[in-house]
């Protein structure tokens, strides 16, 4: 009987498996309710008294070895399962990296910057929280000027001289104060106006304004620059300039591009005329140059400004301006392929 126990002890020590089913069968064979160990313990009463001590020690050793073997193999299988759960199949190809999408505002802004950079315009930026001088007074809009009502302004309650800029023309003022002509710069950025939020307007939006100041700058230079821009941006070279009014330019004009009437959408966008307004422009008022420390007797210049949001709505056929600021992933994912 002792020899049989020793044979089983050798079998236990030699056993190895990575299968949960095989390990469980091994456990039941030796440690189960009807397992071999219980059978050996039942035979203990039939063992001669002289062999009981040796027989008892052999049974205990077999039980201990069987328990340790089962626990060791189970732990090894669990560790392997955790590793596979954490890292998966290491031979499989890696998961594809999710590609982000550019915001339509960024797409349009980058296109505008790229177009004007080709003809020597640099990019200038300024603070969104501005003072009255840079936002209004220096731009030929002194206090109580009726044209200030054209831009419903967010003023800072604790200081009526501080406000959220209503246009990026304030950046042009700062640039002219710190740089001498020739000046050729565009100023993209976010602006704020106290307007009702709807599908076509918002209380904050994005503008890009351009400025060119040098000797002998004429309205013809302005027209050629804008014609180049519309041709590059929209693929449309036919433009018209309608007389308008802006306090900081004289003469001033609204710029229309001939969009055409080829589709039903064209009719809707242009209200059946084929013409689409895209920006305002004009020759820089001499008072503005003088306020910025530039001699208007020596230098002249032109300026223009357009809404980035409006162009984004136009190019991408977006029906509601509010979509541009709601960060809806379903909307933004549509621009993954855009540059």
* Residue-wise pLDDT tens digits, 168-202: 999 999 999 999 999 999 999 999 988 888 888 88
What is the per-residue pLDDT for 149? 65
Tens digit of each residue's pLDDT (9 = 90 or more) over 287-337 = 999 999 999 999 999 999 999 998 998 888 888 889 888 888 888 888 876
- The answer to whether the annotation marks 250 as part of a ligand binding site is yes
- CATH of the structural domain 104-335, one choice from 3.90.1150.10, 3.40.50.2020, 3.40.50.300, 3.30.930.10: 3.30.930.10
Three-state SS letters, the chain: CHHHHHHHHHHHHHCCCCCHHHHHHHHHHHHCCCCHHHHHHHHHHHCCHHHHHHHHHHHHHHHHHHHHHHHHHHHHHHHHHHHHHHHCCCCCCCCCCCCCCCCHHHHHHHHHHHHHHCCCCEECCCCCEEEHHHHCHHHCCCCCCHHHHHCCCCEECCEEEEEECCCCHHHHHHHHHHCCCCEEEEEEEEEECCCCCCCCCCCEEEEEEEEEEECCCCHHHHHHHHHHHHHHHHCCCCEEEEEEEECCEEEEEEEEEECCCCCHHHHHHHCCCCEEEEEEEEEECHHHHHHCCCCCCCCEEEEEEEEHHHHHHHHHCCCCHHHHCCCCHHHHHHHCCCC
Residue 304: count of CB within 10 angstroms of its CB = 22
Return the pLDDT at 227.
94
pLDDT at 83: 58
Report the distance separating Cα 23 and Cα 21, nearest Å: 5
Cα distance between residue 22 and residue 24, in whole Å: 5
pLDDT less than 50: residues of the chain: none
Domain regions of the chain by residue span: 2-87, 104-335
Predicted local distance difference test score (pLDDT) of residue 146: 67
CA distance readout (Å), 198 to 105, 119, 202, 317, 319: 18, 36, 6, 17, 11
Q: Encoding tokens for residue 85?
A: 């759960």
């Amino acid at each position: 009987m002792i020899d049989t126990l020793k044979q089983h002890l050798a079998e236990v020590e030699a056993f190895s498996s990575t299968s949960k089913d095989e390990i469980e069968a091994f456990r039941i064979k030796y440690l189960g309710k009807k397992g071999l160990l219980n059978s050996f313990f039942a035979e203990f009463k039939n063992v001669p008294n002289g062999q009981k001590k040796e027989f008892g020690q052999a049974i205990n050793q077999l039980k201990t070895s069987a328990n340790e073997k089962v626990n060791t193999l189970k732990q090894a299988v669990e560790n392997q399962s955790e590793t596979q759960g954490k890292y998966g199949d290491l031979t499989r190809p890696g998961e594809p990296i999710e590609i982000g999408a550019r915001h339509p505002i960024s797409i349009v802004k980058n296109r505008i910057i790229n177009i004007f950079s080709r003809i020597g315009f640099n990019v200038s930026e300024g603070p969104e929280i501005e003072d009255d001088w840079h936002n209004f007074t220096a731009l030929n809009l002194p206090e109580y000027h009726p044209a200030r009502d054209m831009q419903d302004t967010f003023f800072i309650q604790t200081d009526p001289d501080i406000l959220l800029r209503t246009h990026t023309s304030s950046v042009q003022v700062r640039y002219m104060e710190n740089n001498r002509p020739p000046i050729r710069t565009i100023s993209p950025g976010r602006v704020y106006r106290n307007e009702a939020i709807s599908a076509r307007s918002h209380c904050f939006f994005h503008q890009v304004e351009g400025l060119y100041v040098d000797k002998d700058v004429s309205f013809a230079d302005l027209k050629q620059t804008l014609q180049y821009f519309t041709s590059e941006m929209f693929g449309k070279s036919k433009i018209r300039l309608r007389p308008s009014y802006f306090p900081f330019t004289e003469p001033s004009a609204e710029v229309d591009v001939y969009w055409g009437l080829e589709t039903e959408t064209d009719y809707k966008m242009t209200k059946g005329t084929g013409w689409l307004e895209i920006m305002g422009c004009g020759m820089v008022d001499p008072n503005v140059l003088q306020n910025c420390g530039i001699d208007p007797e020596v230098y002249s210049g032109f300026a223009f400004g357009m809404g980035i949001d409006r162009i984004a709505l136009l190019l991408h056929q977006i029906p509601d301006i509010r979509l541009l600021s709601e960060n809806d992933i379903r909307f933004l994912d549509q621009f993954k392929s855009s540059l």
